[in-house]
Amino acid sequence: MKLTRRDLLVWGAGAAAGLPFTPVPWKLLDDVSIWTQNWPWIPQPARGPVEVKQSFCTLCPQGCAMKVRMAGGWPVGVSGVNTNPLTRGALCPLGFGAHQLNWHPMRLRTVRHDGVASSWDASQTAFVKACNRGPVVIVDGHPGRAASSVFESFTEKRGACLVAEGPETGALVPYENWSDASARALGYDLENAQTIISFGAPMLDGWGVPGRFTRLWAERTNGVSDPQLRLIHIEDSCSRTAAKAWKWVSAKPGSEGALAAGLARVLIEECLVAARGPIPRTTLAQAADRTGRTIEEIRDLARTIVAKPPVLAIAKDNNPEVAALNGILGAIGARGGIVRRSKLSKACLSREGPISNPGAILIDSTVPWDFVPQTDAEIFRFTAWDGGSSRAGWLLPAPGFLEELTDVPTAATSVIESYAIAPQLAKPTHEVRSAAQFLASVDKNLPMPEQIIHRRCSNLRRSGRGSVHAQEITPVAKFESGQKLEEQLQAGAIWIGDPLRPGGWKCEVKEWPQTMATATSEGDWSASWSAPVLPPLATKLYRESKLREAPARRTV
Amino acid sequence: MSRNQVVFGLGLATALLAGWVAFPRALYSKRPQPLAFLHKTHAEKSGVSDCSQCHAFGDDGQYTGLPPMETCVGCHSGKIGTSTAEATLVDHYIKRGVSTPWLVYSRQPANVWFSHAVHVKRAGLACTDCHGHYGELDQSRIYEVNRISGYSRDIWGHSMTRLHRAPGDGMKMSDCEDCHRRHSVQVGCLGCHE
């Protein structure tokens, strides 16, 4: 019998038909996928003795407590800390995978100047030259840290220190106009609120202290038809916060102010609240038209929100009408509302005003990537990850997650005063310097963050205020010395201040405000930057999420 | 039956034979352990009755894995037999202070985190639930390594289909998931993966 080409083809077809009924394709698929995980250039967690250390997340200024599982001296896993009184074991999705960020493909490993590899010496020389050309501006994303004090010391005679603030603080700016308090001295008393009406603020998507509200919501709301904490969310699309909220109200984009005005009008007209305030000029018909809801729906919503006081309205950004609604609801300066925080939490910012022609701009690694200064000054940007900024002349590799010792002061907008230390747990795999270290190499007289942390711990011990929360709660007064207190904080404990007493803050809304765009002054480079939506991190999850949609605000 | 049908059938049969017989043999290579270790002999002669007597938990509750050389030295400081394995153990490893490079049947990828303490001490699982009855074997097992993935055959299990397996035959993620499901224990991705 002669074999023909046709026979071969038919035989091949038979073999192909039989192959799916063997383990070959399925087993190969499994084995090849495992093989690809073990390619030599893919970082592998270290093998070695396992230990668990406690620290604090430094990816955003909120500083959630985390347990870090270390294998062979390297962080290999992160989880929440149940004993932490603020987050009680909760973390945001980014925090849970933060230990992997140090191995991110976009990790910046060398100094780069205009896209070309350079050296630390060259960057230092260039920085000194730029400093001689004009004032220096340092942009800080996490104010209040020991490193922030280094920045302030450096710029004291040489320029100014700017703070890139998050939208949570930006939403508190309207209260500055009605009182003597600055936005940074205010906070949200979430723990005591019973109803929260969120005007687009991504409450369950990483807003504020991500762990703090997530835990609060989980404990008081999850799976309960009439929860202790009602979250009413206003947003045009069904975001994750909207989907999880007790009630989601869809309103046209940009109509938050109109809805707040409509609600305020109903509250006053129907005497649903005891507080008195200015009646908005917006009529219910106008509010209904702008929001896309009916008048009756707005009336119903107003009745719903006051059914379970205290009520707190939270805007996603600087929205005076939402702030004024809090005035009508009696939430300003009251328990479960907007309260003034203690003096310790106030920002220590330079007050010189904007600098129009800086010689050098140094951007700390805590500043989001979207911060792009429109200036001719030479820009020195510290970052652990190369987020693709096109405006920075110098890109300087900064310590990544848990690669440097830093302190974690009270989170912005948190009414609970706290102080913690995030020790260095991971060894950098390449030469990195923090902005504070870089400045210290330029000016030898600058204090180092370690020294400032020592001083702060000593001051805390001397003040005798508050208590330290670890497995047990220890009053600060019981610590023998500041050093003992610091050791405890380095081991993962957190200092919590005395409970805040609301009241004593006068904030009066005399006239109903009109929503206006955030003012920017022409010629001020620092005002014309796009919204810092993302931190300088690049996980797919975080990039695709709606975290921190609202533009941040800078203060001088 | 036409010629085409016969040839097609031949192709089909070749694929089935190759897939079910030749492929599993080609996929795994066999490696001997550095020493012929007999669990059963040790259990009978040294009175070891429980796995944890050698595969112990440390003071901090952590599983210590394979016993250190000191455990072996307790009995094997000198040769106590005439076998080749005994001579190799004493001359090559104990006298030179070198740990025996055992090939670990249950080695998992580095991104897997598994706590023996949680499973054995808290959940009360028996060692045999995952590892099978290796402690009762009276001969040293051949270590079969997957040529592609580099892991032991014990991870996939000895049946290529993974059907009708004995308890402890296979340590794939799906086996963990099945057990967790049976015991109604919910763990997220990060509970096991680093």
The answer to whether residue B22 neighbours chain A at the CB level (below 8 Å) is no
Q: Among residues 142-181 of chain B, which lie with CB inside 8 Å of chain A?
A: 146, 148-151, 156, 160-161
Q: What is the mean pLDDT of residues B154-163?
A: 89
Nearest to B150 among A7, A24, A38 (CB): A38
Give the span between the Cα atoms of A178 and A167, in whole angstroms: 19
Q: Write down the mean pLDDT value for chain A.
A: 82
Q: What is the C-alpha to C-alpha distance for residues A274 and A255, in angstroms, rounded to an integer?
A: 26
Confidence check: pLDDT of A545 > 50: no
Compare A221 and B134 and report the one with higher pLDDT. Answer: B134
Do residues A314 and A199 lie in contact, with contact meaning Cβ atoms separated by under 8 Å?
Answer: yes
Inter-chain contacts counted by CB atoms under 8 A, chains A and B: 106
pTM: 0.74
| Count of CA atoms in the C-beta half-sphere (13 A) of A499 | 7
* B144 phi/psi in degrees, rounded to 5: -105, 125
Reduced to 3 states (helix: H, G, I; strand: E, B; else coil), residue A382 is: strand
CA distance A399 to A407: 14
- pLDDT for A534 equals 37
Q: Cis peptide leading into A535, omega within 30 of 0?
A: no
CB atoms B27 and A34 under 8 Å = no
Neighbouring-strand partners of residue A138: A161, A362
**By CA distance, what is A35's nearest residue in B?**
B149
How sure is the predictor about A345, in pLDDT bands with cuts at 50, 70 and 90?
very low
> Which of A3, A10, A50 would best serve as a mutation to test chain B binding (most B beta carbons within 10 A)?
A10
| Alpha-carbon gap, residue A145 to A421, rounded angstroms | 10
| Residue A203 within a domain | no
Residue type, A350: S
Q: How many domains, in total, are found in chain A? A: 1
Q: Which residues of chain B make contact with A76, given a CB cutoff of 8 A?
A: 113, 194
Is A273 domain-assigned? Answer: no
pLDDT tier, A491 (very low <50, low <70, confident <90, very high otherwise)? very high
Residue-level pLDDT at A515: 58
Average pLDDT over residues A450-467: 92
pLDDT in tens, A186-203: 888 888 889 999 998 888
Summarised one tens digit per residue, pLDDT across range A68-126 is 988 888 888 898 888 888 888 888 878 888 888 888 888 899 999 988 899 999 999 99
Q: Please check whether residue A339 lies inside any domain of the structure.
A: no
Confidence (pLDDT) at A279: 85
Among A90-104, A347-361, A379-393, B93-107, name the one with the lowest average pLDDT: A347-361
Q: Is residue A539 part of a domain?
A: no
Nearest to B149 among A18, A34, A97 (CB): A34
Residue with more model confidence, A263 or A1? A263
CB burial readout A326-362, b (16+ within 10 A) else e: bbbbbbbbbbbbbbbbbebbbbebbeeebbeebbbbb
Residue with tokens 């005063």: A417
3-class secondary structure, B54: coil
B117 touches chain A (CB under 8 A): no
Domain that holds residue A449: 112-166+346-496
Q: What is the mean pLDDT of residues A326-340?
A: 87
Least confident interval from A116-120, A371-375, A388-392, A408-412:
A388-392
CATH number at residue A367: 3.40.50.740
Q: Are the CB atoms for A151 and A161 separated by under 8 Å?
A: yes
**Could you give the 3-state DSSP secondary structure of residue A326?**
helix
Q: Is residue A482 assigned to a domain? A: yes
Rounded distance between C-alpha atoms, residue A263 and residue A30, angstroms: 58
Helix, strand counts (H, E) of chain B: 10, 2
Residue A16 belongs to a domain: no
CB contact under 8 A, A76 and B190: no
Percent of chain A with pLDDT over 70: 86
Higher pLDDT, residue A530 or A275: A275
For residue B136, give how far its alpha carbon lies from the nearest alpha carbon of chain A (Å): 30
Is B16 in contact with A23 (Cβ distance < 8 A)? no
Q: What is the distance in angstroms between the Cα of A154 and the nearest Cα belonging to chain B?
A: 40
If pLDDT is split at 50, 70 and 90, which confidence band does A449 have?
very high
Q: Write out the DSSP string of A276-289.
A: --PPPSS-HHHHHH
Asked if residue A233 belongs to a domain, the reply is no
- The HSE-up count of residue A173 (CA atoms within 13 Å, CB side) is 22
User: Is A5 part of any domain?
Assistant: no
pLDDT at A191: 83
Least Cα distance to A212 among A15, A388, A413 occurs for A413
Q: Quote the percentage of chain B above a pLDDT of 90.
A: 33
Tokens encoding A267: 């509250």
- pLDDT band with cut points at 50, 70 and 90 for residue A275: low
The pLDDT confidence band at residue A342, using thresholds 50, 70 and 90, is low
Per-residue pLDDT, A86: 84
Instruction: List the single residue in A with minimal CA-CA distance to B10.
Output: A11
From chain B, pick out residues whose CB is under 8 angstroms from the CB of A50: 62
- ipTM value for the complex: 0.88
pLDDT tier at A62 (50, 70, 90 boundaries)? confident
> A63's torsion region: left (phi>0), alpha (psi -120 to 50) or beta?
left
